[in-house]
Structure 1
Amino acid sequence: MNDSDCCVAGKMYPTYKCSPPLSGNTKAYLTLNSFEKNGDGGGPSECDNQYHNDNTPVVALSTGWYNNGGRCHNHIRINGNGRSVVAMVVDECNSTEGCDADHDYQPPCPNNIVDASKAVWKALGVPEDNWGGLDITWSDA
C-alpha cells in the first residue's frame, strides 16, 4: 500500500465534474498509485480494463481531464523536480465517486490530480522518501 487515505464513515467529501482549464503547462498535483493487480488503484484501468506494471510510466487523470476516456492511451508530458517524463493515460482518478470497493475505499479524487506509477516518480528523480505528493505541470505530449 502507498498509505492511501481511506474514507471516514459519515464524512462528506467534495466531488468535481470539471478540472482546471488546460494550457501548455497546466498546474497539477502529482500523486502515487500502483496500477498493478492488488495495487492501490483498485480494479483494472478504465481505458483498457488491464493492470499495468509499476515500472511502466502510466497515469490516471482527474475526471475533468480524463474527459470520459478521451485521453485514453494518449501520452502526456509531466514536468516536475527540474525534469520531465512522458507517460501514458490509462485510467481516471474519479472526482465524482469514491469510498467503495471500486475505488479502494478512497475518497473522491480532487480535480487537479495526475496519479502516477512509480516509474514516473523515478523518472522525475524524486527521492523515494518524498514520493506521494508533488506540484507539477503537464501538457499533451
Structure 2
Amino acid sequence: MVVACVVEFGSNPSGSGAQTPSASAGVVVFFTVQIESSLIQIPAVCFFPAVWCAAGDVYNIPALMSVNGFEQGEEGGPAKCDGQYHSDSLLLVAMTSAWYGPGFRCGKVISIKSAGGVTVQAMVVDECDTDNGCGITEISTSAAVWRAFGIDTSVGEVPVTWSDVSN
C-alpha cells in the first residue's frame, strides 16, 4: 500500500549540480510503503519529467515554454481536463504528458518564472501530448501568458521554470 510520494531532485549527471530541461536530469522518488506495521521508504528512479505523482509539491522545474491556442479552430481539440475550448486571453497552460500524468493538475494553478525573474500564474487545462509532437519538458501556454511576460509569441520557445502553487 503506497501512502506517500515524495520527490527529491538529483543533480545533473555532468556533475555541475545544475538542473537542465532534459531527460537525463534525474529525479529520485521515494514511495513510503506500509508492510505490516512498518513504514519503509523505497527509492524508485524515474526520469526528470515524471513528476505527476507529486502534483501539488513540485517546485522550480526547468521547462521550455511554447505558445498554444486554446480556442476552437486553433491547433488541437478541446482541453483534455474539461472537454471545453478556452479563450486565449486567459492565463492557461497545457503540461507535457509526463507532467500532466492522469490529470492530477487539472484546474490547478502553476507558477511560471521567466529567465528574467518575472512570474506568471496559469491554470492547467490541457495535456501537451508527447505522442503528438510536444517535447518532454514542454509547457504550452496561451498567448495571454506570453503577453504577461512581455515576450513576443513569434520567439517560439523560451526557457522557464514552473512550480505548483499551494492551495
What TM-score bracket applies, with the shorter chain setting the length? 0.7 to 0.9
Q: 1:128 to 1:47 in 2, by over 3 A?
A: closer
SS in 1 for 2:162: strand
Whether the 8 Å contact between 2:110 and 2:164 is mirrored in structure 1 is yes
What is the identity percentage for the equivalent residue pairs of Structure 1 and Structure 2? Answer: 40
Q: Which amino acid aligns with 1:111?
A: I
SS in 1 for 2:102: helix
Does 1 or 2 have the higher relative contact order (CA < 8 Å, sep 6+)?
Answer: 1
Paired position in structure 1 for 2:30? none
RMSD over aligned Cα atoms: 1.8
Whether the 8 Å contact between 1:19 and 1:63 is mirrored in structure 2 is no
Whether the 8 Å contact between 2:50 and 2:98 is mirrored in structure 1 is no
Rounded to whole Å, the distance in 2 between the matches of 1:116 and 1:128 is: 10
Paired position in structure 2 for 1:20? 49
Q: Which amino acid aligns with 1:20?
A: P
Residues 1-141 of structure 1 mapped to structure 2, 5 A cutoff: 20=49, 22=51, 23-40=58-75, 42-80=76-114, 81-95=116-130, 97-98=131-132, 108-130=133-155, 132-141=156-165
Q: Deviations over 1:70-121 (max 9, x none)?
A: 11000000001431100000000111x22xxxxxxxxx21110110000000
TM-score by length of 1: 0.74
Rounded to whole Å, the distance in 2 between the matches of 1:21 and 1:93 is: 14
Q: Deviations over 1:15-54 (max 9, x none)?
A: xxx65255520000000000000012x2100000000101
Paired position in structure 1 for 2:32? none
Total equivalences in the alignment: 113
Larger radius of gyration: 2
Instruction: For structure 2, list consecutive stretches of 5 or more residues without a partner in the other structure.
Output: 1-46, 52-57
Instruction: For structure 1, list consecutive stretches of 5 or more residues without a partner in the other structure.
Output: 1-17, 99-107
